[in-house]
């Protein structure tokens, strides 16, 4: 079994991992539906859920596993189509999977997790961690909060129907190379403490969380490689260079100060990088 793994950034928090003849996808969303979310005052929560199947077909090929961090539209809207086309196993919380069922995802491909699981797949392992979505404002509010336990809900029609549904982080390991995906500006510090990934994928700083970057780096042992994620204008075209809308530059400066021995790996849209070679 090789420890070499190639990662490719598909924008937002969407990542493709290939190694040992297998492919793992994190939050595979490439439709980049316009909702106004990146324009002050223009956000429309009633924007219909749409899937750009041609974009998915162009940018996403085979997949063995799909790992969902949370259920907002820019993370799972494309998953039903990707899952049906690839036959991949989909990991997520009860809410994530119920929303996917409501959108037509084949039930036999869905694997419910909640944090603490360690699964052996052919060529790699996946460990699941509880996490927390970022909040904002004076009252620390969460966008589209809520869960969908129990019976499968009605089919979501608008992006506001895709509630957060609990958040997860994942440690994916190919041989000796491990990659920790915490695509949220928060984390469960006591659970993550002691994890020692080769590569840490993380968002930029959030004013709601004091010393987030420093605490995350300390908890994970200041990993050899740091990769920023979910920092682009996720409604701009994927084939154009990424626009730093959510603090990749600021994150890079904080990483350099807090963990100068870590290598900063900044990827643009559709760029790849190989670790463990």
Q: How do residues 30-61 score in pLDDT, each as one tens digit?
A: 999 999 998 889 999 999 999 999 999 999 99
Cα–Cα distance measured from residue 96 to residue 104, given in angstroms and rounded to the nearest whole number = 13
Q: Which residue, 166, 161, 163, is CA-closest to 186?
A: 166
Q: Could you report the per-residue pLDDT of 170-192, keeping only the tens digit for each?
A: 999 999 999 999 988 889 999 99
pLDDT at 185: 81
Cα–Cα distance measured from residue 184 to residue 21, given in angstroms and rounded to the nearest whole number = 29
CA distances from 25 to 63, 69, 170 (A): 7, 11, 11
**Banded model confidence at residue 2, pLDDT cuts 50, 70, 90:** confident
pLDDT at 134: 86
Residue 102, pLDDT above cutoff 90 = yes
Q: Which residue, 267, 142, 248, 257, is CA-closest to 205?
A: 248
Residue 277, pLDDT above cutoff 90 = no
CA distances from 236 to 30, 183, 233 (A): 11, 19, 6
Percentage above 90 pLDDT, the chain: 92
Residue 1, pLDDT above cutoff 80 = no
Strand, coil or helix: what is 14? coil
Asked if 273 contacts 7 with a C-beta cutoff of 8 angstroms, the reply is: yes
Pull the structure tokens for residue 196: 């020692």
Cα–Cα distance measured from residue 47 to residue 24, given in angstroms and rounded to the nearest whole number = 29
Task: Look at the chain and report how many structural domains it folds into.
Answer: 1
**Banded model confidence at residue 222, pLDDT cuts 50, 70, 90:** very high
Q: Which range (93-107, 133-147, 257-271) has the least confidence?
A: 133-147
The mean per-residue pLDDT over the stretch 65-76 comes to 97
Strand, coil or helix: what is 141? strand
- Within 10 angstroms of residue 57's Cβ, the number of other Cβ atoms is 13
Q: Domain limits at 105?
A: 5-275
Report the first-to-last Cα separation within the chain, whole angstroms. 13
**Domain containing 21 — which CATH number?**
3.60.15.10
- The pTM of this model reads 0.97
């Amino acid at each position: 079994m090789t420890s070499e793994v190639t990662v490719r950034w598909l924008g937002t928090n969407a990542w493709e991992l290939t190694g040992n003849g297998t492919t793992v996808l994190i939050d595979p969303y490439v439709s980049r539906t316009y909702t106004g979310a990146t324009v002050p005052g223009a956000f429309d929560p009633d924007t219909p859920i749409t899937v750009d199947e041609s974009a998915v077909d162009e940018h996403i090929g085979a997949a063995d596993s799909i790992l969902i961090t949370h259920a907002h539209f820019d993370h799972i809207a494309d998953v039903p189509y990707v899952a049906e086309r690839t036959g991949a196993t989909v990991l997520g919380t009860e809410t994530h999977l119920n929303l996917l069922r409501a959108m037509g995802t084949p039930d036999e491909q869905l694997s419910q997790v909640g944090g603490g699981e360690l699964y052996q797949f052919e060529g790699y392992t996946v460990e699941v961690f509880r996490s927390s979505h970022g909040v904002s404002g004076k009252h620390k509010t969460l966008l589209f909060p809520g869960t969908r336990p129990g019976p499968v809900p009605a089919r979501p029609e608008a992006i506001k129907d895709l509630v957060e549904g609990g958040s997860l982080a994942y440690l994916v390991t190919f041989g000796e190379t491990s990659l920790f995906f915490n695509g949220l500006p928060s984390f469960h510090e006591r659970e993550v403490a002691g994890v020692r990934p080769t590569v840490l994928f993380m968002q930029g700083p959030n004013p709601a969380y004091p010393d987030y970057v420093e605490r995350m780096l300390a908890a994970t042992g200041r990993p050899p490689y740091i990769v920023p994620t979910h920092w682009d204008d996720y409604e701009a075209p994927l084939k154009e260079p990424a626009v730093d809308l959510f603090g990749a530059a600021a994150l890079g400066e904080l990483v350099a100060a807090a963990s100068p021995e870590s290598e900063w790996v900044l990827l643009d849209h559709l760029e790849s990088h190989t670790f463990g070679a």
